[in-house]
Amino acid sequence: MPLPNLKDAALQKSFALPNGAASTVSAAILVNAVGYEFTANTELLIEAPALTTARLPDTQTVSYALEQSVDEAFTSPVPLHGTLFTQTGADGAGALAASDRVRLPSDVLPWVRLKATKTGAANASGASATLSLVF
């Protein structure tokens, strides 16, 4: 079966990467209802931009992880997947763009979001990552 590739703009959330050693998160996407089994043939597509050395100098990193919650406010976030991938500044060249796809488990909580965590003092907030639900 081919990979899901259809996107809906309402189910695509872009957000600025962190400034300094911090974390930022995307807006939440509603994927399920409380108490229901998730069976849709969909995936989450995570897209991280290429980063220049000004945004990601040597040895600094940006890691991407998925979180889930029973509410849109994420009052008690639960990891959905640990670190999906990490961009590392190296050789005075910053980092290449990166992406990953994740299928949602049948017991996924209603809301999901992407979290980006950066190390080091450089400001990467001029670049954005994107979380999309593709089907």
Digit-coded pLDDT (tens) for 56-112: 999 999 999 999 999 999 999 999 999 999 999 999 999 999 999 999 999 999 999
- More confidently predicted of 4 and 55: 55
Q: Calculate what percentage of the chain has a pLDDT beyond 90.
A: 84
pLDDT, residue 2, reads 63
Q: Which domains does the chain have, with CATH numbers?
A: 7-134 (2.60.120.1110)
Q: pTM to 2 decimals?
A: 0.93
Residue 4 reports pLDDT greater than 80: no
pLDDT, residue 40, reads 82
57-95 residues labelled b (16+ CB within 10 A) or e (exposed):
beebbbbbbbbbbeeeebeebeebbeebeebebbeeebb
Burial class (CB in 10 A: 0-12, 13-18, 19+), 26: buried
Mean pLDDT for 3-19 is 89
- More confidently predicted of 5 and 132: 132
Per-state percent for the chain, helix, strand, coil, to nearest 5: 0, 50, 50
pLDDT grade, residue 122 (50/70/90)?
very high
Residue 124 to residues 12, 36, 48, 79, 89, Cα–Cα distance (Å): 20, 38, 12, 24, 12
Digit-coded pLDDT (tens) for 34-70: 778 887 889 999 999 999 999 999 999 999 999 999 9
Q: Which residues make Cβ contacts (< 8 Å) with residue 32, sequence separation at least 6?
A: 38, 104, 108, 109, 110
